Structure 1
Amino acid sequence: MAGIDDPTPRSPGGTVLLRVRAALPLLGPSERRVAQVILDRPEAVTEWSTAELATIAGTSAATVVRACQNLGFRGFQHLRLEVARAAPCERTPTLDAHPLARVFDDAADAISLSRASVDLAGIDAAVEVLALARRLVLVGTGFSAPPLQDAAMRFATLGRPVEAPSDVLGQQFAARSLTSVDACLTVSYSGANAHTLRACRAAKEGGARVIAVTSFPRSPLTQLADICLVTGPVTRTHDVDPFLSRLSHLLVLHTLHTALQARPGSTATGPMREVVAEALIDET
């Protein structure tokens, strides 16, 4: 749109809302209502779906998407991520503190928020599905991939039949082979990753149950998944890497592993520890 040159905010600290406010005169009446709602209720926007924002703005979902695109975003999901990153942290950071102190303090705050956000009943339901699954396929890309690879190794120590292809096409191939006795476990910060959604839809079409670990309660992924474990959009101090959310996702995955390990009849990890021991080299 004319007058908006930079399609992506360079810094999260308030730039997003400033851009929305500056663009108001350039928008049509319906799109202006969408932008005004975003300005009036930025904290709530991160919890809404496209349809919910459209209802509150008194317009259509298509108008919401068009308004976001005219503001320079790819769509509502992109705008929502940037608004979440622009939101002030619950704790006022001590800028002169050592980076170690800031990082650990931010992590502690993020973990506390996520601990209060994750539904315990959802954890129990996910563990039940994982315990009964004949096969388990893990899907996720980008910054969500490392927690999944870690989880795949942990599930393997329990003797679980788990696959975690790193290639996005490999994930879709594996997901398409799942059936009603299998499960698909996915991690996505935004809940709107196109590759992840394709793999999850393929798993659902085959009858598999889909378990999602994500940060936003309203997203295309939470609408698709059978079980949603939502940690909250806790990443607000980094422009690109959603590290704090990734940390929370990792802890949720570790919780699933721990709960599976505690179930009666779970495979003993003794033989797996021997694998680790054999990988060590004695000093000479």
Structure 2
Amino acid sequence: MAALLDAGTVDAVLEKLATAKTVFIAGSGLSAPVADDLAMRLAALGLRVQRVSDPMGQEIAAFTLLPENLCIAISGSGQNASTYRSVEAARSRGTDVVLLPSVDSSPTRELATLTLMVSAAGASYASEVTGIGRLPMYLFTHALCDVLRRTLDGSTQPVRAEIMAVIDRFTLFAE
């Protein structure tokens, strides 16, 4: 997986994440759980995040984006029609789009500003349905959030402290 990632592109994505006014996460079908997880992790870092799980709602929300926002689209195949239309809407608003696909070429990739290929060796769309195809995406997004956490300036710290208090309230038994 690491061989597919370009360090310069990863750095550019980190910069866009750190400076975006709002980060909109698009992803449907098999990519929806990865999109949900990424949205929660970015919000826990104190970023302003928008995630709509309904595919039609994603496309509608994408039309509200502004150039200072960022859209992250997660699509293993890069061919999910709903994700494609959300990316198309985001780009029509002047919003940069970062695509996380598992395949090298797709219609959605042609619209993206930046692409971070996240795939296991020998992965195919069929293997994603029956195998561990989305696992590399989870691993990558978790690592990306960890690096982002270490690079953010202190501006999100007050929000992060409040978020940690929310997480603590969900713990039934203190250690």
TM-score interval w.r.t. the shorter chain?
0.7 to 0.9
- Distance across 2 between alignment mates of 1:120 and 1:131: 16
Once the two structures are superposed, residues 16-63 of structure 1 have per-residue CA deviations (whole angstroms, 9 ceiling, x without a partner) of: xxxxxxxxxxxxxxxxxxxxxxxxxxxxxxxxxxxxxxxxxxxxxxxx
> CA deviation digits over 1:132-189, x for unaligned, max 9?
1111110111110101101111111111110111001110111100011111001111
3-state secondary structure, aligned to 1:163? strand
Residue type of the partner of 2:36? Q
Distance 2:125 2:86 in 1: 30
Report the Cα distance in structure 2 between the residues aligned to 1:179 and 1:242, rounded to whole angstroms.
38
Q: Count residues with an aligned counterpart.
A: 170
Identity of aligned residues (%): 32
Helix, strand or coil at the partner of 2:134: helix
- Take 1:160 and 1:168, find their aligned partners in 2: how far apart are those partners? 23
TM-score, with normalisation over the residues of structure 2? 0.88
Pick the aligned partner of 2:115 from 207, 216, 228: 228
Residue 245 of structure 1 aligns with an amino acid whose one-letter code is G
Aligned residue for 2:59, secondary structure, equals helix
The reply on whether 1:219 has 2:110 as its aligned counterpart is no
Report the counterpart of residue 280 of structure 1 in structure 2: 171
Specify every segment of 5 or more residues in structure 1 that has no aligned partner in the other structure, as ranges: 1-113
Aligned amino acid, residue 129 of structure 1: K
1:263 aligns with 2:112: no
* RMSD of equivalent CA atoms: 2.1
Cα separation, 1, equivalents of 2:28 and 2:58: 10
**Cα drift, residue 275 of structure 1:** 1.4
- Counterparts of 1:29-178 in structure 2, within 5 Å, are 114-178=1-65
SS of 1:244 mapped into structure 2: coil
In structure 1, C-alpha distance between the alignment counterparts of 2:130 and 2:10, rounded to whole Å? 22
| Separation in 2, partners of 1:282, 1:240 | 37
Q: What is the SS of the residue equivalent to 1:212?
A: strand
| Structure 2 CA distance for partners of 1:282 and 1:239, relative to 1, 3 Å | closer
AA aligned opposite 1:228: T
Gap regions ≥5 residues in structure 2: none
Q: Which has the larger radius of gyration?
A: 1
What amino acid is the match of 1:281?
L
Question: Which position in structure 2 is the counterpart of 1:28?
Answer: none
